[in-house]
Structure 1
């Protein structure tokens, strides 16, 4: 428990530092985290006997991330995203030279890794720039509400949890915990609205609700994936917490949805 608490504290401090030290550090840090998540994902897939194209996947991830984030700093045109096209087709061509019984499974998991472990971080980074320039308010508020949901779900689940939410994939999650997580996240969202006035308070409440629902779904999806390959943690990089993918499973589904919501109310 002590190790878990220390790791958690250090992790939170690093996260806050990445948000408060400027746009370049923010983008670089989350590009790094997305790559770590991709490495963990490919490593997990490899335990099943499949062989995703890791090197091409890592290169594609960096180019994809840089192509989107780079346009906020320099005249980095979106057309640079086209560089990924030959890389994507290269995955198919590379598979021709591998002696695999399941070639399209290797190809599919390579693309899935990019979609599942990298693209959500891109959406999260874009959220911080949605007003046209870097603003840490939304990025910080997102994680405060996500952490509030996780904390509330755990506390309410421990004290009141009786009805299982999705026992097949996550036996410990309960409907009481889920509702408690929403309540806690919405409460934190309401408090945030007093300090970050970029959006009206009701938008923060709606975002908190979205984050709670899709953050929980993200957790369940990752649990489903790990159970399907009989793995407990995605990695060991965070003592007491597992892997980076374990810590950011709530972001993977909620960040894209939050981006869509913010885009619709901003433009």
Structure 2
């Protein structure tokens, strides 16, 4: 517990100021987190970080994570989608050149992982780049839902939510976490006018959707770890696991915010 608390304090001391500053310092941190996230999936697949597939995965997740402004400022208007396709093509070509060391399933897994991790961090930066209130809206929903689900689950949780994927989660905790988020988040943002463009009802609807999306993101990452037989995605955060362990919900919530039009 002591290690967990110390790690959380150090992480917040680094993370919160960069979140407030935004711009290039936060972009650098976001790209680093995305690269670490994809490295955790490579680690689960027992792939060397200096292999061709790893280097292509690192490049791919950077390409997806970088904001459009970066690509628009480059000569010849380089399109990130085109670069991503080239990377996928090279992964497929690697299945031919590697002599069964790297197969089609491996290429598909890494291509999907690049989209999963890169898109999540891309929209995380975009949310903060819009304004601090926007990114905090998504983050508070995740944090309050997680805390509420833990407390309600501990108190009255009996019915397992997904016993084969995450045995400790219950339906009672899941519903309770969303209820707590729906009560607190729209009220806070309405009272303090942190997102004045949206009415209380709109914030309420957004919170319901994003709270559920965040819990699904948690289950997706739990399923990933269960598939590869690991307890944590990594060990970069002592007591907390890896980057994917800490940002699993965010990787789904931030793109969902874009789908809902909040990041426009």
TM-score tier, shorter chain, comes to: 0.7 to 0.9
The reply to whether residue 42 of structure 1 matches residue 37 of structure 2 is no
The aligned counterpart of 2:11 is 11
What secondary structure, in the 3-state scheme, does the structure 2 residue paired with 1:262 have? coil
Q: Does the 8 Å contact 1:163/1:175 carry over to 2?
A: yes
The reply to whether residue 158 of structure 1 matches residue 154 of structure 2 is yes
> What do you get for the CA RMSD once the two structures are aligned?
2.3
**Residue by residue, what CA displacement relative to the aligned partner does 1:145-197 show, whole Å, maximum 9, x if unpaired?**
21111111111111111111111111110111111211221233121232203
2:188 pairs, out of 186, 191, 202, with 191
The reply to whether residue 89 of structure 1 matches residue 89 of structure 2 is yes
Gap runs ≥5 in structure 1: none
* Superposed displacement of residue 10, structure 1: 2.4
**Residues 85 and 67 of structure 1, relative CA distance in 2, 3 Å threshold:** farther
Q: Distance in 2 between matches of 1:164 and 1:80?
A: 42
**Residues 29 and 185 of structure 1, relative CA distance in 2, 3 Å threshold:** same
The aligned counterpart of 2:21 is 21
The aligned counterpart of 1:209 is 208
Q: Does the 8 Å contact 1:67/1:81 carry over to 2?
A: no
**Residue by residue, what CA displacement relative to the aligned partner does 1:77-97 show, whole Å, maximum 9, x if unpaired?**
463542333222111222221
| 1:1-267 equivalent positions in 2, closer than 5 A | 1-46=1-46, 53-66=53-66, 68-70=68-70, 74=73, 77=77, 79-100=79-100, 103-129=103-129, 134-189=130-185, 190-195=187-192, 196-198=194-196, 199-262=198-261
Aligned length: 257
Q: Distance in 1 between matches of 2:4 and 2:191?
A: 32
Q: Distance in 2 between matches of 1:56 and 1:96?
A: 15
Q: Distance in 2 between matches of 1:67 and 1:211?
A: 22
Q: Does the 8 Å contact 1:19/1:140 carry over to 2?
A: no
Q: Distance in 2 between matches of 1:52 and 1:159?
A: 49
Q: Does the 8 Å contact 2:159/2:172 carry over to 1?
A: yes
Q: Distance in 1 between matches of 2:7 and 2:54?
A: 28
Gap runs ≥5 in structure 2: none
Query: TM-score of the superposition, structure 1-length normalised?
Result: 0.87
